[in-house]
Amino acid sequence: MSKEGNPGANKLAKVFKSMMGKMADQPLVLDFGIIGQDYSLTTNTFPRPLAQDEYSVCRSVTYNPGVPLTETYFDGLHGHPDAGYAGAHINKVRLPKKMHWIKPGDKVLVAWVQNEAVVIDLVYSAETIGQQEPDY
């Protein structure tokens, strides 16, 4: 075997090195962040807090759990087992507590779109899986 080794393996190594260099030059796309007391955003890769007007949020993190997602009003004579009487009543469908809007101290998933940070969703510990949702 020559000093240059296997020409095929060398060529493959050069291709891998080129691909890894291209991937390393690309910016991070997803990041974690924390919402500050003033609603600023500090991410793991950008140490300066971004003011509330310097980042965007997806609508899923703007839901107010105190406001019903939907409300239906029934009027007239009909029976409803939970109402205890027949007649008018309102049904409110509320979001689970975990689907609230972002608040200070929340850990969030951030996508970097060019130079803009966009908060995608809240991030919870996997230990919350299977735990009962707290009451309102």
**How much of the chain, in percent, has pLDDT values that exceed 90?**
33
- The full DSSP string for 91-111 is EEE---GGGPPP-TT-EEEEE
State the first-to-last Cα distance of the chain, in angstroms, to the nearest integer: 75
Predicted pLDDT at 93 = 77
H/E element, 22: helix 7-25
Query: Distance (Å, rounded) from C-alpha 42 to C-alpha 115?
Result: 14
Q: What residue ranges do the domains of the chain occupy?
A: 27-62+101-126+132-136, 66-95
Whether pLDDT at 113 is above 60 = yes
Q: Tell whether domain 27-62+101-126+132-136 is in CATH 3.20.20.
A: no
Q: What is the pLDDT of residues 38-91, one digit of tens each?
A: 999 999 988 899 999 999 999 888 888 777 777 776 665 555 555 555 556 677
Phi-psi category of residue 130: left, alpha or beta, with phi > 0 → left and psi -120 to 50 → alpha: left
Whether pLDDT at 131 is above 70 = yes
**pTM listed for this prediction:** 0.62
Whether pLDDT at 92 is above 80 = no
Predicted pLDDT at 64 = 81
